[in-house]
Structure 1
Amino acid sequence: MPSDDARARLADLRALLGSPWQEDNPLGFARVLDADERAEVVADAEVALDRFALNAEFVPVAEGGRLARLDDLVEVMREVYRRDGSLGLGYGASSLIAAVNVWTAADAAQRAEVAKVLLANRKIACAYHELDHGNDMAGTEFAAVPADRGFLLTGRKEVVTNVQRADALVVLARTEPGRGPRTHSQLLVDKAGLPADGFSYLPRFDSTGLRGVQLGGIRFDDCPVAADAVLGTRGHGLETAIRSFQVTRLGLPAMATGLLDTALRATLRHVRPRVLGGRSVADIPHVRAVLAGVFADLLMCEVFAAVAARALHLLPGEGAVLAPAVKYGVSTVLMPAMERLGVVLGAHSYLRTNVVEKLLRDIKPVAFAHVARAACQSTILPQLPTAARRSWRTGAEPPPGLFDLDADLPPLDFDRFTVSTSGRDHIAPAIAADRTDPLLTHFAAELDALTGEVSALHPSDVGLQAAPEAYDLVDRYVRVVMASSCAGVWRAASDGFLADPAWLTAVLIRLRARTERDAAELPATVEERLLSELFARDDRGVGFGVAADPTA
């Protein structure tokens, strides 16, 4: 749950944005859809976010910003994503992706420089991708060649958000030949200090989803930068990325649940007033089943992301598995949920005047942007055997506050993130805390089975040439972690809907169905309880996710 400070900021943000459904609101959905047709974001919305100083959410408190808790950051950004995913990524999250590398590795002067840029409502961009190499960061060819008093930058970076609008770039560059863990470095490049003939911009890329996000490229030709542009230690660029991106690879999918929240509300606004055959469309059994299932999926994603975000504070050494698990697990649930709402809306979901049509396009990059799901599996798989031997069998006691979403958290400490979990896992084994419920027992048994299967793997079974069956183990593991997170939150909740067993039953049934490939039909009493809560929240104008706070 957001802290009191974050709730106050959220109230201010909602007041600035106004109701998205109001036709004459210059920041409402009508203007958002018009801007999307032009592949833009609403300019007045960016002005409003400047007034709110959204960039301060990305700057640690020690550097003059507001970033102390990752869950607070996610909640604030969810409110932006509820309005427009292009605004969320194009205005804000793209700068966050670059900034986390600075907070992880930079010296005091570099941190101060980046904080100054962000707190002045300006942007920084993360220049990592090269189309020839995709998610293979170690294969990056862009080079920073040592020269007098610094480096010469040579090569191309492509699909970079805000590359032209940004004041500074965080660039991943090859500083040594060959392959290996010390061949790449990160550089902080102030574009104002570059010679005009040293770089040029590449044409903007068009996109189907998040059309307002400015995706472009940049080319450097023996462009000089100073030696002090290196972030952290030379040759540690890949390590910095692995550590720092735990925040964004967890945070961005968590923020994107705001898209599903809006789509669910839009669907309710469509079906509840409509009458077919003398009854409300919302009373049709299939429609009710879809609405209840999507509500459960939204809660599942937000609870899992909330626990993982808390773990980055309380168990920072476990983020190397948790972050890709959130990226993989949440995106795997969000996209089918959005598609089911599209089926309920029918032909209306294809209308460009319906915000859900845009949301159906905007949700797809959640699966591959920043890092693809297959890359997440490749990151998780090699770390499972050690966890199976060291943690899954013993079941270490989780730290206090891990599952209590109302408990305080220590400040986020980037210095404590690690490139590997070294077998630490406090979340998955917690599923065995209660074996009296058949659904919980199922997932406890699944972890027992995984422990045996994963422990028997040979190192060659978990490398890049791993068989498809090995990646199925990752899928099963992620579902266990999601189930354990939800069960832990339910146990810790003392009141409110999260203390109601109905939502947990629905989540576990849906997770088990995906594991066993069964239909995820909910018991009638569970479905009715979820729908009662869903309709009540819709009537009160509060969010459908974990916080259930007022929406704009």
Structure 2
Amino acid sequence: MIDTLRGPRRALGGAPELSSVERLERFLGDPWDPGQKVRYARGPVAAPLADACAHLDAWGLHRYYVPVEHGGELTSLQELFDLVRTVARRDPAAAVTHARTLLGAAGVWVAGDRDQARHLGSLVTAGETVVLGGPERQHIGDLLTGEVTARRNRRGYRLDGERWLLDNAAGGRLMCLLARTVPHGGPRGFSLLLVDQRDLDPATFRHLPEVPAVGLRGAGTSGVAFHRAVVDRAARIGAEGQGVEVLLKVLQVVRTISPAVCLGTADRALRLAVRMASEREAYGSSPYGHPLTRRVLGEAYADLLAMEALGAVAARSAHLAPGELSVTSAAVRSLLPAVVDGVLARLRELFTPRSLPFGTRLTCPFDQMGRDHRVVTALDGATAGCHALVSQFRALARHHAQACERQVPAGVFDLGAPLPPVPWAELNLVARNGSGLLGTLPESAQVLRRAAQTAPELAAPARLAARFAAAVDSLPDTLPRTPRTAAGLTPKDEDAAHRYALLLAAAACLGVWCHAGEVNRAWPDGLWLHAVLCRLYARLKPGDRPFLAVASPWGSGRDEELFERMSQRLALQCQAGEALSLLPSRTAESDPC
């Protein structure tokens, strides 16, 4: 069930306000210009990361990592998602490196007290960075075996041990560390500490050499070693023993925002593909002279829009349905990177070096983009996202019927509606009452069916929506109920997780169509909805492994005209310098050819 909210915010005089994304675009300038600080790389050449991050600081991107109630500019995670995507389209390494502060600071927004949050907010808005402690060298991926200890003393805690894989520990003043505060460990044996390097005795800690990295231009990866380093008791975030719980909630925010880097990569890949197609001469002078080219680009664009809808709805759900973010964020994390991997793989096959005309001015960059994208997805692996879903299947199946009846604010789907502040304290480790977002799919399908009675162009997407609704109705009977560890996931478990994520993506797309009037004004013929439902349903067919079956049969069936129209829309938007998005906006793109 869906509840309604108000429409989009408007400036005085009734004209829409200039969005922060458009302001950032104007500030960053033409990404094809080699003089820009944050730009497209031509081959291996790219702007230095330090210069790119300093340029983003000059615009004030770091202020969007701090909630407005703590002195920053963060009022909407959807807005932050779009800003990170904008940067990642130009330079994914700069986006990942700069956004590390959000990951390091989010624990304080989730569990810190007011004074702690205000103090950290003032430091971050002044330009200080915060790095999040990664796994230890001996215990990668296992939080409960960490060996960094924090023993209580009169002043606070004494730190000992090594923490590896901090994102450029030497370059950040503040570090958010998970440390063992109970000798035997366990779920309640760890606490989260915000460590200010300036408050430590230099003789009690040292930075470890950077770990050689491949991808993202070797974005800084290093570590820190503590020996009898003392921090104040005020450095602890939340209650003692609450560290693992807080960190798992932080990961929900990470899994909601980090896929924006994947979307930015797909956005850039599509723009490059359009330019490369315009230079191909093997099939004539037309930019889209071959049906296969048009088919692949049309399907890839539909994939991009489907994942944009899912990512935007997930970001908005943190404000309006925070108790479900454990499910929603895990679905985004397990599905969106896999779909983008498929987009990059198909473009790489289509634009191999042998397929390009001799002397073309554009090289084939999709191998490098795919490598960088795999580094991004490895930061919090897709297996972790799958496990976060599988571990909740029993509760999701039990409460499925009630979730379909629960009221869900329509603002979750209205991409232009205002949002209340994120209720950080309401994040839960488990969606105790099921997924109300998924429960909206049958109702949205009914709305679409009724609309199709007077709009013939909606008949085909309405039929697809009915199939998704039937899949949602039968979902409780198809979910595995056996608890699994992350290492014990089976292919059947992964299939079930991706199937659930696909249904949630369809619910997001249908909800956006039903409630986001601005989207429907930009796409008045329902073209985008038909295309994205086709692509999602192609992955949902019984017997497919959705994370591997990323493409429907090339050139098959009755949807050729559909993706032909999508490819035409893609070409026109690229030529006009418009965003490849459900919502209309302008970019700073120029024609590189």
Q: Fold match, TM over 0.5?
A: yes
Q: In the alignment, which residue of structure 2 is the partner of 1:422?
A: 432
Q: Does 1:363 align with 2:373?
A: yes
Q: In the alignment, which residue of structure 2 is the partner of 1:150?
A: 156
Q: Does 1:385 align with 2:410?
A: no
Q: Does 1:79 align with 2:77?
A: no
CA contact (8 A) 1:161 1:216 kept: yes
> Whole-Å Cα distance in 2 between the matches of residues 460 and 78 of structure 1?
35
Q: In the alignment, which residue of structure 1 is the partner of 2:452?
A: none
Q: In the alignment, which residue of structure 1 is the partner of 2:507?
A: 484
Q: Does 1:474 align with 2:497?
A: yes
1:225 aligned counterpart, secondary structure: strand
1:412 aligned counterpart, secondary structure: coil
Q: Could you tell me how far 1:211 is from its partner in structure 2?
A: 1.7
CA contact (8 A) 1:295 1:530 kept: yes
2:119 maps to a residue whose letter is E
Q: Could you tell me how far 1:548 is from its partner in structure 2?
A: 3.5
Q: Could you tell me how far 1:368 is from its partner in structure 2?
A: 2.1
Matched residues, number: 544
2:184 aligned counterpart, secondary structure: coil
CA deviations on 1:95-123 (whole Å, 9 max, x unpaired) are 10011111111123322232122111221
Q: Judging changes above 3 Å, is the alpha-carbon distance between structure 1 residues 247 and 501 closer, same or farther for their aligned structure 2 residues?
A: same
Q: Does 1:20 align with 2:31?
A: yes
CA deviations on 1:393-445 (whole Å, 9 max, x unpaired) are 66124222222212221122212211211033112122212265331222222
1:257 maps to a residue whose letter is L
Q: Judging changes above 3 Å, is the alpha-carbon distance between structure 1 residues 394 and 175 closer, same or farther for their aligned structure 2 residues?
A: closer
2:72 aligned counterpart, secondary structure: coil
Q: Could you tell me how far 1:222 is from its partner in structure 2?
A: 2.0
2:51 maps to a residue whose letter is D
2:208 aligned counterpart, secondary structure: strand
Structure 1 unmatched runs, 5+ = none
Q: In the alignment, which residue of structure 2 is the partner of 1:53?
A: 60
1:475 maps to a residue whose letter is H
1:481 maps to a residue whose letter is L
> Whole-Å Cα distance in 2 between the matches of residues 503 and 256 of structure 1?
20
CA deviations on 1:192-248 (whole Å, 9 max, x unpaired) are 111112111122122222125211111112222122211110100111112232222
65-74 or 509-518, which deviates more: 509-518
Q: Does 1:538 align with 2:547?
A: no
> Whole-Å Cα distance in 1 between the matches of residues 114 and 403 of structure 2?
41
2:565 maps to a residue whose letter is R
Q: In the alignment, which residue of structure 1 is the partner of 2:322?
A: 316
Q: In the alignment, which residue of structure 1 is the partner of 2:201?
A: 195
1:312 aligned counterpart, secondary structure: helix
> Whole-Å Cα distance in 2 between the matches of residues 419 and 99 of structure 1?
19
CA contact (8 A) 2:88 2:264 kept: yes
Q: Does 1:293 align with 2:299?
A: yes
> Whole-Å Cα distance in 2 between the matches of residues 402 and 310 of structure 1?
5
Q: In the alignment, which residue of structure 2 is the partner of 1:431?
A: 441
CA deviations on 1:35-93 (whole Å, 9 max, x unpaired) are 47xxx42x4333321211211000111111100110111111211111111111112x1
Q: Could you tell me how far 1:254 is from its partner in structure 2?
A: 2.5
2:72 maps to a residue whose letter is G
Q: Does 1:529 align with 2:565?
A: yes
1:204 aligned counterpart, secondary structure: coil
494-503 or 110-119, which deviates more: 494-503
Question: Quick one: which of 259, 278, 282 aligns to 1:276?
Answer: 282
Correspondence list, 1:238-277, <5 A: 238-277=244-283
1:125 aligned counterpart, secondary structure: strand
Runs of 4+ off more than 6 Å: 1-6, 348-353, 461-464
Q: Does 1:405 align with 2:426?
A: no
Q: Of the two structures, which has the highest relative contact order with CA contacts closer than 8 Å and spacing of 6 or more?
A: 2
> Whole-Å Cα distance in 1 between the matches of residues 72 and 174 of structure 2?
18
Q: Judging changes above 3 Å, is the alpha-carbon distance between structure 1 residues 154 and 289 closer, same or farther for their aligned structure 2 residues?
A: same
CA contact (8 A) 1:305 1:326 kept: yes
Q: Does 1:450 align with 2:456?
A: no
1:395 aligned counterpart, secondary structure: helix
> Whole-Å Cα distance in 2 between the matches of residues 301 and 55 of structure 1?
25
CA deviations on 1:437-495 (whole Å, 9 max, x unpaired) are 331222222223321133xx555468864544233221211111111111111222433
> Whole-Å Cα distance in 1 between the matches of residues 234 and 403 of structure 2?
47
Query: Normalising to structure 2: TM-score of the pair?
Result: 0.86
1:376 maps to a residue whose letter is G
The root-mean-square deviation of aligned C-alpha atoms, in Å, is: 2.6
Query: Normalising to structure 1: TM-score of the pair?
Result: 0.92
Q: Judging changes above 3 Å, is the alpha-carbon distance between structure 1 residues 550 and 341 closer, same or farther for their aligned structure 2 residues?
A: same
> Whole-Å Cα distance in 1 between the matches of residues 207 and 10 of structure 2?
43
2:288 aligned counterpart, secondary structure: helix
2:237 aligned counterpart, secondary structure: coil
Q: Judging changes above 3 Å, is the alpha-carbon distance between structure 1 residues 181 and 500 closer, same or farther for their aligned structure 2 residues?
A: farther
